[in-house]
Amino acid sequence: MSLEILDQFHDPALCKSVLDRLNETLTGPLRFMEVCGTHTVAIFRSGLRSILPKEIIHLSGPGCPVCVTHEAEINAFLDLAEKPGVIVATFGDLMRVPGSRGRTLKAAQADGARVRVVYSPPDAIKLAAENPDAKVVFLGVGFETTAPGVAASLKMAKAQGVANYRVLSFHKLVPPALTALLSDVAPAPGQGIDAFIMPGHVTAIIGIEPYRPVVERFGKAAAVAGFEPLDILQALLFLAECQRDKTPRLANLYRRVVRDEGNAKARAVMAEVFTTADALWRGLGLIPGSGLEIGDAYAAFDAKRDFGIEIQDCPPLPGCKCGEVLKGRLAPNLCPLFGKACTPAKPVGPCMVSTEGSCAAYYKYQVD
């Protein structure tokens, strides 16, 4: 898509007119949650948060892949990185995430562990081909957006006979997390979630149907949206209209990228390589059927089997309210640790760790 077209999506005059309509449509407080780190950052970075009507309350859900990677999973990454004969290949944003012992991949790298930042799984396969004496383990973190690319890399490794390539899959699935979030104990009155902005990239893969239960079973309006200010404003307008009409609906407002049916090819690759499994989420705990494991056909490339990795829950971090933040029950700045014991320099909880985490975004961008 050309940059000129994208420019229209942050045209101040267009945005202002949607904002005006939003103001006219609102009938009361609208507590919306987005479930994508890119949305979190876009809302803060564009300054949108500071010009939204007071009635609109922005909650950031468990949509940042780094944030929801469990401490125990980070520990597993660190243990692997420190094994002789292993090169760990990872996306850059995992480098600074602390495990339960406060250690990071960046620190492990400084101590001599072989950790390489890559931009895509094929880069990791190339790394494996260049280092035949080592096992190159790609750290598989991310949602439905990232998983198909990793699945394709496993197919590629198998086809090319790159026998020293491994993947440690901790991929997670968005819809089961939404169900878990909405099935959790009832929030105090006025503290729940009224509506959702659904992640654009994830939906491009899974399509809109997996969100149907959010609307029909839990009665929440949901809009799939892009990441430009105008995208987000239009989604909010739709959610406000649903609230005014008292009829929760589901809409795909990101048609320039997302087809209603998603991407069947990408899903087929995922299904060929992965099977679903229970997964641990930071702040949310164990969610049934919310993870992806490497299936039997690709067992030879599975780092979990090769290195005998087992993940066990560990106690939550004392004082950290990230679980409440991720569920939309607490604003980041109301956590007692926020900005004091917990800052981007020394993050305690997951939401402060990633640049796309809600606490980090709040700390970084919020003026008042």
Examine residue 355 and tell whether it contacts other proteins (CB under 8 A).
yes
Q: What is the DSSP letter of 219?
A: -
Q: Map the footprint of other proteins across residues 211-230, applying CB under 8 A.
A: 229
Examine residue 259 and tell whether it contacts other proteins (CB under 8 A).
no
Q: Map the footprint of other proteins across residues 114-153, applying CB under 8 A.
A: 117, 119, 141-143, 145-146
Q: Map the footprint of other proteins across residues 80-109, applying CB under 8 A.
A: 91-96, 106
Binding residue (CB under 8 A) for other proteins from 236, 356, 358, 359: 356
Minimum CB distance to other proteins smaller for 215 or for 224: 224
Closest CA to 71 of 101, 92, 51: 101
Report the run of H or E that residue 59 belongs to, with start and end. Answer: strand 56-60
Backbone angles phi, psi at 357, to 5 degrees: -75, 150
Report in angstroms how near the CB of residue 95 gets to other proteins at its nearest. 6
Minimum CB distance to other proteins smaller for 186 or for 345: 345
Examine residue 45 and tell whether it contacts other proteins (CB under 8 A).
yes
The stretch near other proteins (CB under 8 A) out of 234-242, 262-270, 288-296, 355-363 is 355-363
Q: List the beta bridge partners of residue 171.
A: 292
Report in angstroms how near the CB of residue 29 gets to other proteins at its nearest. 20
Q: How many CB atoms lie within 10 A of CB 344?
A: 16
Examine residue 17 and tell whether it contacts other proteins (CB under 8 A).
no
Examine residue 291 and tell whether it contacts other proteins (CB under 8 A).
no
Q: What is the DSSP letter of 184?
A: S
Residues 330 and 170: their CA atoms lie apart, in Å, by 27
Examine residue 51 and tell whether it contacts other proteins (CB under 8 A).
yes
Per-residue burial over 281-296, b if 16 or more Cβ lie within 10 Å, else e, is: bbbbeebeebbbbbbe
Closest CA to 210 of 281, 280, 282, 143: 143
Examine residue 12 and tell whether it contacts other proteins (CB under 8 A).
yes
Examine residue 47 and tell whether it contacts other proteins (CB under 8 A).
yes
Q: List the beta bridge partners of residue 57.
A: 31
| Cα separations in angstroms, 40 against 181, 329, 365 | 18, 16, 11
Q: Which residues bind other proteins (CB under 8 A)?
A: 3, 10, 12, 15, 38, 44-51, 65-66, 91-96, 106, 117, 119, 141-143, 145-146, 201, 229, 344-345, 355-356, 363-367
